[in-house]
Amino acid sequence: MLFYPFVPTRVALVAVLLSAWAHAEDSPIQAGIQKDCEVGAWSEWSECPEICNTGWHMKTRQIKQKPKYDGEPCPDLWIKKTCNTEACYTFELTGKTGNEIVYVKNDGELTKYTLKKNKATTIPIFIKRRVLVMFVNGKYTSTGKDTGTKNAATFSWGDNLPLGISGVAGVAPEYVSSAGGWKCGEPDEHSMCRKARSGVFQYTGTYRFTFPESTPSPTSTPAPTAAPTPSPTRMPSPSPSAVPTPAPTPSPTSVNTVRWQMITDGIDWVPSTGYMYMRSGRNGREGAAGESLYEESIVYFMAPESSYTSVGFTAGEQPRDFEADRTSLGKALMPCMMKMGGGSANPMLRLYEWGSSKGTSPEMNFSSEDIIGLGIDKTGLVSFYKNGEKFRECSQILEFPVHIDVVLNSRQSITWLGLERRE
């Protein structure tokens, strides 16, 4: 009986305490003061780690106040962006006629340039110091035959960002195509080798040079030991007689990447570089069929000496059956094709028509630095070229449309340089 008067008071007190406990998490006063994150000012951009060919640098900021009690979180504390995106090296090529076409191979890629008449074209090189320039349509073929043009290119050194110098010379251009037997770099080399080394390119074929990685000595000279008088017996004759038919001069306005209407499952194709490789499948049954061609055209490509690849033209718009359209010996049934063979010891280019060999006369070896061409003229005559010089013709006359037909063997590759259309 004595406790009854106190019951309402106790109940009210408990209710107040329970209510305060229930709202404690919602009360900044009870839980603490809410504070947002605060950060300081941005730092300066860090030094770019690369001199050229794209690096990344960043700037940062520090936290001044960490967030508390569900305050606003901190924003990004660092950002980055590219820096020094310029090419590490450049060189220049100046055309004599404006019809000169070159392919530049560097950093694993091939890039085509049509030179300007009496005006330098600056060509960027991003990483590797060693460069190959493939001159497609020079005044002379790789064997010294006069093509009847005046096409020539003049070379000059450009920027060298790693050294911070412009115009510094490295290893001078050397003519490295083997077809003419010019012996460049040897004591009895032809005079054209010295002309190439001085920066004048007149011969169809491949030229190689290397940017320096250090400043050369002022007394150094790239001139090789040479005979006192160059032999005149190897100079190309200006006479128009007995000159093989030159490769068609590519039109500078009709350049195309090689495109394919069909590629078999075992073939890898990289459009940006023109690289095609047989990854899997059965020999003789993997390859590709190009888009339909309706006019005079020539396609350029390169292949390793160990290649056993077949390249030709097939008439019609539809690809042939790669599984069924073969001879009993496994040769592709194309009306006109060139088959590479012989292995690294004796790499050969052989003519085949409907799967039958037409022999190796004239015998034609090739190297991985040679530019091979497959062309068809407006009459449907198919011809094969090496470094701008025609060496074989098919007896078959094809009707347009035609398409490029290629067959690869296991782990073989081919690099397509481009397709020229003569409209």
DSSP states along 134-151: EESS-SB-TTS-B-S---
Distances from the Cα of 70 to the Cα of 21, 29, 62, 63, 165, angstroms:
19, 14, 20, 16, 57
Instruction: Write the class of the CATH domain 255-422.
Output: mainly beta
Task: Give CA–CA dist 334/312, Å, rounded.
Answer: 7
In this prediction, what percent of the chain has a pLDDT beyond 70?
Answer: 82
Tokens for 234, please give them: 């190897």
Q: Where do the structural domains in the chain lie, given as residue ranges?
A: 93-234, 255-422
Q: pLDDT digits over 282-313, tens only?
A: 888 999 999 999 999 999 998 888 888 999 99
State the number of CA atoms in the 13 A half-sphere of 195 facing the CB: 13
Sequence-distant (≥ 6) Cβ neighbours of residue 226 within 8 angstroms: 187, 189, 194
Inter-residue contact 258 to 341 (CB < 8 Å): no
Task: Give CA–CA dist 158/92, Å, rounded.
Answer: 6
Task: Work out the mean pLDDT of the chain and round it to a whole number.
Answer: 82
Sequence-distant (≥ 6) Cβ neighbours of residue 413 within 8 angstroms: 275, 276, 277, 278, 303, 304, 307
**How sure is the predictor about 260, in pLDDT bands with cuts at 50, 70 and 90?**
very high
Q: What is the pLDDT of residue 267?
A: 93
Q: CA Rg, the chain, in Å?
A: 34
Inter-residue contact 259 to 276 (CB < 8 Å): no
The CATH T-level fold of domain 93-234 is Lipoxygenase-1 (2.60.60)
pLDDT at 215 over 70: yes
Task: Give CA–CA dist 304/311, Å, rounded.
Answer: 14
| Mean pLDDT score, 247-263 | 61
Inter-residue contact 132 to 162 (CB < 8 Å): no
Inter-residue contact 131 to 104 (CB < 8 Å): yes
Q: What is the pLDDT of residue 113?
A: 94
Beta bridge partners of 157: 91
Answer whether 0.85 is exceeded by the pTM: no
pLDDT at 1 over 80: no
The SS3 assignment for 10 reads: helix
Task: Give CA–CA dist 387/372, Å, rounded.
Answer: 6
Least confident of 67-81, 253-267, 295-309: 253-267
Beta bridge partners of 95: 117, 153
| CA angle 109–113–119, rounded 5-degree value | 140
In one-letter notation, the amino acid at residue 316 is: G
Task: Give CA–CA dist 325/320, Å, rounded.
Answer: 7
Least confident of 41-50, 202-211, 235-244, 281-290: 235-244
396: left (phi over 0), alpha (psi -120 to 50) or beta: beta
Task: Give CA–CA dist 296/291, Å, rounded.
Answer: 14
Tokens for 303, please give them: 């292949």
Closest CA to 368 of 305, 279, 299, 325: 305
pLDDT at 419 over 70: yes
Sequence-distant (≥ 6) Cβ neighbours of residue 8 within 8 angstroms: none
Tokens for 223, please give them: 């001139």
| Mean pLDDT score, 76-83 | 88
Residue entry with tokens 């050229």: 52
